[in-house]
Structures are given as structure tokens and as C-alpha cells.
Amino acid sequence: MATLCRPSVSVPEYVITMEETLELARSRHGDHLQLPLALRLIENTGVRTQHIVQPIEETLKHPGFEELNRVHVAEAKARVPAVVQRALDDAEPLAADIDVIVYVSCTGFMMPSLTAWLINEMSFENTTRQFPIAQLGCAAGGAAIDRAHDLFGDGIAAAVVRGRGGEGISLERNGSYLIPKTEDWIMYDVRATGFHFQLDKRVPATMEPLAPALQDLAGLHGWDAADLDFYVIHAGGPRILHDLSTFLQVDPHAFRFSRATLTELGIIASAVVLDALRRLFEEGGPRHRARGLLAGFGPGITAEMSLGRWQRHEETV
């Protein structure tokens, strides 16, 4: 049985607060008719701090796609190996023990993928299979976990999925679900100045059609999605967490890890569910064999979902 072990998460050192974001909006768009609405929307996100890879003054320059992608490549190579190594150290395998690297990103573009560079840089075996995935946005962390389970054999996160042993979520079933006719609700408008994020106003209401997909997956496994021991959910915003707890009939406290990620780090795209899982580990984790659900939501509109039981290290063989 595959076990999803403790994630390693890193965020950049530059921080912008809610108050700074609001002031930035006022100073740059003071005469915009929709400014009061925009300020209310920003305040309602619940995000108190956001981490970025360079000072906000540099971020606002929009130097063009070529320079932005150069920054993406340089920052990824500077930051990813340490995060991967911590995940390996926690899960205890060596780089030479890894069979597959699943890499997800929606920030920039590299070909060959960063996986090829990692294999050379960190001395993974030359036979290590590469599985780079792009364009899944906030669902990507869930997709990486699901694809690792299937294959068994601006924040950064890494986690090891072991074929046997280890502490974490013993993965038992996974699934994907796409809401029809919503592919343009979350999207990038690719311009010379980079990737411009576009979000349809209907996105916050998507938990009503997605909650049944989570319930159906749990039902296929003989579980009740409303009666599990832990939940690791994409922190897409206060309404998403509120609506999902309502439609699943789950106590809002069950989503406390996701809510903490949202408040302290914001929406960190591909890494978001892994940070919530990290917080579950830091709390000590649930009891051995506790049942849980992990789900990430992103462009499509897509849900990537996993079911599993918590496995304590002392119980492994």
C-alpha cells in the first residue's frame, strides 16, 4: 500500500501583508470606479500575508515574459532541491531509491522539465521516470499525489510516496472530476508580459457540484464523506471552505489546516494541499488507521481527490 509521507514546504522570504496589498490597490487604482468593490473582495479573502520570490517593487515592473520565465527557472533551481531533500530525509529513502518524480507547476515553462535537471543535480538514478504536469493550478498538488498512487511502482512543496512503510496517509483510492463547461472559469491569458490570471465570479460557488463528487468517491469505497476523521482540502478561499463544510455536512473545524494555510500563506497554487497536510503532521496526526480525504480544486473546473487511512510510523512493518 502506498503511503504519502510528511511534506516539506518552503515559501519565499519576501512578504506582502493584507494592509500593504490594500494600500497598493488604493495608490495604483485610486480613480477606478470598482476600487471599493475590489478592496472588499481583497479583505474578504482572509489572506493576512502572501510570500513572493522578489520584492513587490520588482514584481510590479512587468519586464516581459522572457525575463519573468528566467526568474522562474532560476528560483526553481535555487529553491527546489532543499525542499526535495527534506522530504527524502523525513520519509527515509535515498535519492537512488526513487522510481518516479512527479513534478507540478503552473508558474513558468521549462523544457526539458525541471525533473531532468533534478535527476542530474541530486543524483537520482538515470532510470528514474519523469512525470511533469502543468496547467492544473491549485488542483496540481492533489493530481501529483493521485498520479504517484496510480504509478506505484509560489511556494514549493515536496512529499515522498513510499511503496511500503513510512508514516502518513496510506492511499487507498483516488479520483478526478471535471465540472462540464467550466474550462474558461479559471484560466491564464498569456501575453508578452507573462501569465495573467483570470477568475470567473462563479468560481466560489463550485462546491455545490463538487461536493457530490467527493461523496461519490467515498461511497465507492464504502465510506461516508461526512463522517471521516481528517480532511486535507484546497484552501481556495473562505467561501469555498464554508460551502464545502456545509454541503458535506462536516464541522468547519475539520478544515482548520486549510484555513491556516489560506490565512498565513495565501493560495500557493500547486503546493496548497501539501501545506495543509504538513500542518496535520505538525499537530501530531490522527490516530492509527483514521480515515481521511484529500482534495485539490483547480482549472477545468477540476477536483483531484484521494482517500486513505493514517498510518503511524510505529505501526509500519
**Amino acid (one-letter) located at 265:** L
Residue 5 falls in the annotated catalytic set = no
Euclidean distance between the first and the last CA atom of the chain, given in angstroms as a whole number: 12
Which candidate in 101, 104, 138, 305 is catalytic? 138
Residues 123, 101 contacting (CB under 8 angstroms): no
User: From CA 159, how far away is CA 277, in angstroms rounded?
Assistant: 10
CA distances, 115 to each of 49, 100, 281 (Å)? 30, 10, 27
DSSP string, 5-54: ---EEE--SEEEEHHHHHHHHHHHSTT-TTHHHHHHHHHHT---EEEESS
Residues 183, 309 contacting (CB under 8 angstroms): no
Closest CA to 156 of 140, 171, 167, 169: 140
Residues with catalytic function: 138
